[in-house]
Structure 1
Amino acid sequence: MNNRLNYIEITDNYMKLLSFLLFIFFSISAHADKSGYYITTNLENSSVTFLGVQTDLDQGYNIKGGYDFPISETFYMSVELEYNNMGAFDYDWADDNEFAKSHIDAHFFGANLKYRAYVFDSDFFITSMFGYGYYYLDMDVNFYLEDGGKGYIANGSQSRSALGLSYGFEAGYDFTEHLALTVGHNIARAIMDGIGYDFGTSYLGLSYKF
């Protein structure tokens, strides 16, 4: 009987100690200062829509670097620079003597302003984001088309660029003081030579805080 009482008392003490340690861990984790410099890299899938046609691009990536400014214990403002290789698209068509081939690369370079909030006194966070910068389209075209007995041929490269605005959201979790997982989605629009280009990007990646 005494052994059973001792076991219950020891177990109860261990549970109290475990509860105390968990309380200390989550308190430190939730209220630790999360400001500072960081770098983020993401894998992404993007699409571009123009003239009413949506084109899905190959898998791309982006690299971001910035600084988090604390507003309160759970709210932060971030300013960052971003390079985004949004991916590429290849088109290849042939019919008898006619053919058309094209290759398009999409890029972005600019700055983002973020507002991040930690939820439920935890290490989970949500972020709203606004971006501004240059969007680039590099295109290689090679075709031969016939119309009314006449043949038209072209072979060359062309680059287009324009300033554009973007907005989106992110969600993530801080695994440690330095490492976080982030998922996000943003949309953007840029006008190039009078034509509107709409970009959509979903991404997943890791962030490292120095």
Structure 2
Amino acid sequence: MKKIALTVLISVISASAMAEGNFYVGADIAKSNYDAITNFKAKNKGMGFAVQGGYEARTSEYFALGAEVEYLKQSGVEYSANMGSISAKSDINVSSVNFNLKPKLYLGNLYLATPVGGAYVMVDGKVDVSAKIMGQTIKVSQKPFSDGFGLTYGAEIGYDIMEQFTVKAGAKKVIAESTTFYAGVGYKF
């Protein structure tokens, strides 16, 4: 057992010593698609963006592991429904701070990555409902959303144009009800 532990320890130390590392920053434009809600129409609003900062350690010719912090502002969504004398409208905006691990498989200058991590998700929105009952209109407005922690995961493809400059595109889930597609650039120091 001690021999196995010693072998693993030496391997980890050797891999860390051999790994080439770079700090990096990145920026993306993003478009989010939100899941449908029964009887509601969804309308996406605008574009979102993301900025990242992190560290990538190249462990071999083919593999790298990155750790990053990311701020993601998703494009918003507006849900609306009209069911006879009752109408409802919801306006939702989502942003998150993500802590990702990003393993990468390099094939020359092309790479495939699977970012996975945790996110603190901030939701801003309200729901407005109006109902016409016996000639009277009753309106109610609520903010039923709450911030919280969640899981983020996705897939990314990128290309190192030069040693320090990268272009990338991918898709990620930050909250269960949306998928965000993005394209961006990165710069390694």
Same fold (TM over 0.5): yes
Cα distance 1:157–1:207, how it changes in 2: closer, same or farther (>3 A)? same
- Structure 1, unmatched stretches of 5+, are 1-32, 190-196
Partners of 1:201 and 1:76 lie apart in 2 by: 24
Partner of 1:76: 64
Residue identity in the other structure for 1:68: E
Q: Which has the higher helix share?
A: 1
Per the TM alignment, residue 136 of structure 1 is displaced from its structure 2 partner at its CA by: 2.1
Q: Provide TM-score, normalisation by structure 2.
A: 0.75
> Structure 2 residue aligned with 1:146, among 126, 132, 139?
132
Partner of 2:98: 110
- Give the number of the structure whose alpha-carbon radius of gyration is greater: 1
Per the TM alignment, residue 45 of structure 1 is displaced from its structure 2 partner at its CA by: 1.1
Cα distance 1:108–1:90, how it changes in 2: closer, same or farther (>3 A)? same
Partners of 2:62 and 2:76 lie apart in 1 by: 39
Question: RMSD value over aligned CA atoms?
Answer: 2.9
Q: Provide TM-score, normalisation by structure 1.
A: 0.69
Cα distance 1:54–1:36, how it changes in 2: closer, same or farther (>3 A)? farther
Which residues in structure 2 correspond to 1:1-210 (within 5 Å)? 35-49=21-35, 55=42, 57-58=44-45, 59-91=47-79, 100-119=88-107, 122-155=108-141, 157=143, 159-189=145-175, 197-210=176-189
Q: In structure 2, the residue corresponding to 1:35 is in which secondary structure? A: strand
Residue identity in the other structure for 2:185: L
Partners of 2:75 and 2:44 lie apart in 1 by: 5
Is the CA contact (8 Å cut-off) linking 2:31 and 2:180 kept in structure 1? Answer: yes
- Structure 2, unmatched stretches of 5+, are 1-18
Cα distance 1:86–1:54, how it changes in 2: closer, same or farther (>3 A)? farther
Q: Which moved more, 1:142-151 or 1:131-140?
A: 142-151
Partners of 2:113 and 2:65 lie apart in 1 by: 9
1:118-169: CA deviation from partner (whole Å, max 9, x where unpaired): 11xx211111111211222211344432135553212454542221112211
Percent identity over paired residues: 25
